[in-house]
Structure 1
Amino acid sequence: MLTIKHAATIAAVAGFAAAASAQTDIFWNAGSSNWITAANWNPVNVPNAITENAHILGPAGINVNLDTTVSINDLNVGSDLTLTLDPVRGLHLNGGLTNTGLITLNPTISGNNSFIQFLNNATISGSGGVLRLAGGGDDAQLLTALDVTVTNASGHT
């Protein structure tokens, strides 16, 4: 028999589960600058949690420099924009990647690794590209966690 106490407990648990799975969308609102600067994002917060989605959608022609290693849920890079991952920096994605711009890994062609790692099954979509530059064969990497499949959607290069 379902009592009011049981119903309240079930409602509370359902509320916690919904809150735990909620994603926060954070939007780039600056010109060319560094990812780590909180004031460059709206709301003012550096995306660095698997419950956060980072959207870099403008202004056109800018370069966002990923100058730290972060873990986020989804990443969206808009057209005519560049995301550059510095050497020894990485991006862990819990979700997917939409890229209509350009993502550059290890632009100085140093011997230090930079990487994008997919933590769950995901799709890379959009009409953009990923440019991997490196001093050696493994200095710019696209990685997956164990048993993870990443699909490069039609149109993405």
Structure 2
Amino acid sequence: MEHRIEKIKKQLHSQSYKLTPQREATVRVLLENEEDHLSAEDVYLLVKEKAPEIGLATVYRTLELLSELKVVDKINFGDGVSRYDLRKEGAEHFHHHLVCGECGSVEEIEDDLLEDVEKIVESDWGFKVKDHRLTFHGVCRKCQADSKTNTALSS
């Protein structure tokens, strides 16, 4: 974790920002809960456990700054809540997500599935792609299996 914090500190410094104690507390919470796609409120509640003096507005400002600097990606899975996802180390693009409409689970796809699509967009439309995001909405394996089990039981 310390290695990632040091890299984020360098990213901030390269843009003339400092990794203040408040920002570091926020980054640590994001790192400790990297798989969870936390909302700003979730981050705030976890930061408050470590540093009760940090306010909600500070956490919001920190998340917005980290988003602007592409340390985190701000995402919305269609439920009206912005969530924050740390960019993977060395990732050029946002990673993709599978969102289950039944149980709400979110799985990540690390592979860049859109390289060919980017090339087509750039060549055919003359549009320089800087980033992209892809979210699939559907039903996860577990919910599909549960549904089959329930259907079989009720037959």
TM-score, normalization by structure 1 = 0.26
Higher relative strand content: 1
* TM-score, normalised by the number of residues in structure 2: 0.26
Q: Which has the higher helix share?
A: 2
